[in-house]
Chain A
Amino acid sequence: METQNPIVIMLINMTIVFAVLFVLSLYIRLIHKIDPTAKAAAAPKAAPKAAPAPKTAAPAPVVEKGIADETVAAIAAALATMGVGFSRVKAIRVADRPAWGGVARHEGLTTLKMR
């Protein structure tokens, strides 16, 4: 090394440091450009945006005969309380279960101990 001038040494070194890191920053951008996995990673995110839900009115649920309008309203209110839209309900019908089975299920749930 010929020069012993601190200012010259300082300027040369600072320039080299900036140049090397500039090349590295270009290289990082190049890696990003040629990344073959980038599209695959972006695709699942794009999918929901590409197919937005149609803004047409949802069909009304099929309500079985014999179920009162008040019951339907109560179900809709309960679902709304839980944050579920009524449009997601496809049908409302009486459960085809024997009464004894229902009682047993209710008993089982109410006496269940959480551990």
Chain B
Amino acid sequence: MDILSAFLTSIQSVWLDSGFASFTLGNFIMILVGLLLLYMAIGKEFEPLLLTPIAFGCIMANFPCTGFLEEPGVMQVIHYGIQYEIFPPLIFLGVGAMTDFGPLIANPNTLFLGAAAQFGVFISLAGAMALGFTAQEASAIGIIGGADGPTAIYMASKMAPNLLGAIAVAAYSYMSLVPLIQPPIMKLMTSKEERSIKMEQLRNVTKFERLVFPISSAIIISLLLPPVAALISMLMLGNLFRESGVTDRLSDTSQNALCNIVTIFLATGTGMTMSAEHFLTVQTIEIILLGLLAFAGGTAAGVLLGKVMCRLSGGKINPLIGSAGVSAVPMAARVSQMVGQKANPSNFLLMHAMGPNVAGVIGTAVAAGTMMAMLGAK
């Protein structure tokens, strides 16, 4: 009988120490959310490189009794990388190495489209404040409209760490849904004639311009907005690796190996902020709705300024490139190309849309820096 009793006690102890004993309905719901995100990533191929680790991180975050974030270990290191804004600047290094600023340098007017698309950020900020969020939280929620995951995480870590999970998930989810969200808004705001406009070929950009732009932009923007110096400097350093022609190995590492490694950590860590107790709140639903408002507002404002520029240029600018100002490189530019080509099969807007697209990255970073300087980081 003693043996049986000891056996039962051991079984009971194992059960009580297991995750099953502490498993809640919230954990179950969040694991279902993780599975849904996995389905979207693998089954529907919506940004699979980002959504797969986010989804799996979400599932892991809802294993009870793991002590992932309480005890030193790899999970805590990943969490620190997000909490102390280490990963977003490293991602920007890779983004810079992958970015061709040529279309932006060839047509600097596209910077205004990148600025106009930030309108969604500020609409959402106003909406969030109306719903009772603090100004700092509202600014972090608004940046979802910039459609720039690393900047959203950077901003949320500084301004509203308590909302980091919801903001990151909303930002990456909407980025992956760009091909679904943007086209109806773009079609609604433009006529078929406007969508069919063919744009002239861009001028050649010299190597001198390609070299001077990242160096001087890093200096000017970092001096102007120190809170985003890490993001902008790393973006421009990556671009300098690409354009210098003498650092091919560094450029290759930045845009491939390093970027992939940091993406795994950043996305998994983001998913791990989606524990049931932090995520299943009314605030999360509000943030997701405000994110959609920000995204739609940014797209609409970009197209609207595109229409104005179309009029001012005598019909030489296709307003569809304005929607690419919401960042989401290069997905938003591809959407401009796709919608333009549907209206006119011989239309090639991709390179023209890359101008506002990369301007949007700079614009979102500038908007983040402005809000951090104005509202004060926590």
Candidates B118, B138, B208, B376; contact of A35 at CB < 8 Å: B208
Which residues between 95 and 113 of chain A lie within 8 Å of chain B, taking CB atoms? none
Given contacts A10-B122, A14-B122, contact A38 B363 (CB under 8 A): no
Given the known A-B contacts A1-B374, A31-B213, are A6 and B118 also in contact in the complex, defined by CB atoms under 8 Å?
Answer: no
Number of interface residues of A (CB under 8 A): 29
Q: Which residues of A contact B112 (CB under 8 A)?
A: 18, 21-22, 25
Given contacts A6-B126, A20-B224, contact A28 B104 (CB under 8 A): yes
Cβ of B126 and Cβ of A24 under 8 Å apart? no
Chain B residues near A10 (CB-CB < 8 A): 122-123, 125-126
Residue of chain A at shortest CB distance from B205: A32
B111 and A22 form a contact (CB under 8 A): yes
Q: Flag if A28 contacts B105 (CB, 8 Å).
A: yes
Given contacts A6-B129, A13-B367, A20-B366, contact A37 B208 (CB under 8 A): yes
Measured between C-beta atoms, what is the minimum distance from A104 to chain B in Å?
50
Interface of A: prevailing SS: helix
Task: List 12 A-B residue pairs with CB atoms under 8 Å apart, sorted by A's residue number.
Answer: A6-B135, A9-B375, A17-B367, A20-B366, A21-B363, A23-B220, A24-B217, A29-B108, A31-B216, A36-B208, A38-B206, A38-B208
- Nearest 7 A-B pairs (CB), nearest first? A6-B126, A25-B108, A10-B122, A28-B108, A6-B129, A21-B111, A21-B115
Residues of B within 8 A of A (CB): 104-105, 108-109, 111-112, 114-115, 118-119, 122-123, 125-126, 129-130, 135, 138, 204, 206-209, 212-213, 216-217, 220-221, 224-225, 359, 362-363, 366-367, 370-371, 374-376
A4 interface residue, CB < 8 Å from B?
yes
The yes or no answer to A47 lying at the interface (CB within 8 A) is no
- In the assembled complex, the Cα of A12 lies from the Cα of B371 at a distance in Å of 10
Q: Which residues does chain B contribute within 8 Å of A6, judged by CB atoms?
A: 125-126, 129-130, 135, 138
Cα A21 to Cα B110 in complex, Å, equals 10
In the assembled complex, the Cα of A41 lies from the Cα of B118 at a distance in Å of 36
Which residue, of A22, A26, A28, A41, has the highest number of chain B Cβ atoms within 10 A? A28
Say yes or no: A9 contacts B118, CB within 8 Å. Answer: no
Question: Taking CB as reference atom, which chain B residue is nearest A26?
Answer: B108
Residues in A neighbouring B224, C-beta threshold 8 A:
20
Q: Which residue of A lies closest to B204 (CB)?
A: A41
A13 B220 Cβ-Cβ under 8 A? no
* B374, A9: Cβ atoms closer than 8 Å: yes
Give chain A nearest CB distance to B368 CB in angstroms.
10
B112 and chain A: residue at smallest CB distance: A21
Q: Tell me whether A9 and B376 are in contact (CB under 8 A).
A: no
Q: Is A16 an interface residue (CB 8 A)?
A: yes
Among residues of A, the one whose C-beta sits closest to the C-beta of B129 is A6
Please state if B375 and A25 are interface contacts (CB–CB under 8 Å): no
Report how far A21 CA is from B104 CA in the complex, Å: 12
Chain A nearest CB: distance from B62 CB in Å?
Answer: 35
Tell me the A residues contacting B by CB distance below 8 Å.
Answer: 1, 4, 6-7, 9-10, 12-14, 16-18, 20-29, 31-32, 35-38, 41
Which B residues lie within 8 Å of A38 (CB)? Answer: 206, 208
With a cutoff of 8 Å between Cβ atoms, the chain B residues found around residue A25 in the complex are 108-109, 111-112
How near does chain B come to A16, taking the closest CB pair, in angstroms? 5
A7, B374: Cα distance in complex, Å: 14
A12 and B216 within 8 A (CB): no
Flag if A21 contacts B370 (CB, 8 Å): no
Contact status A35-B125, CB under 8 Å: no
Known: A10-B125, A17-B363, A31-B212. Is A4-B135 also a contact (CB below 8 A)?
A: yes
Which residues of A lie under 8 Å from residue B374 when comparing CB positions? 1, 9, 12-13
Give Cα distance in the complex from A21 to B221, angstroms.
10
Q: Report if A27-B216 is in contact (Cβ < 8 Å); known contacts: A1-B375, A4-B135, A36-B208.
A: yes
Q: Which listed residue, B114, B135, B216, touches A9 by the CB 8 Å rule?
A: B135
Q: Which residues of B contact A12 (CB under 8 A)?
A: 374
Option from B118, B217, B375 in Cβ contact (under 8 Å) with A17: B118
Q: What residue in chain A is nearest B104 (Cβ atoms)? A: A28
Pairwise interchain contact A18-B115, C-beta atoms closer than 8 A: yes
Residues of B within 8 A of A35 (CB): 206, 208-209
CB pair B209–A21 under 8 Å, yes or no, is no
Chain B CB within 10 Å — which of A20, A22, A36 has the most?
A: A20
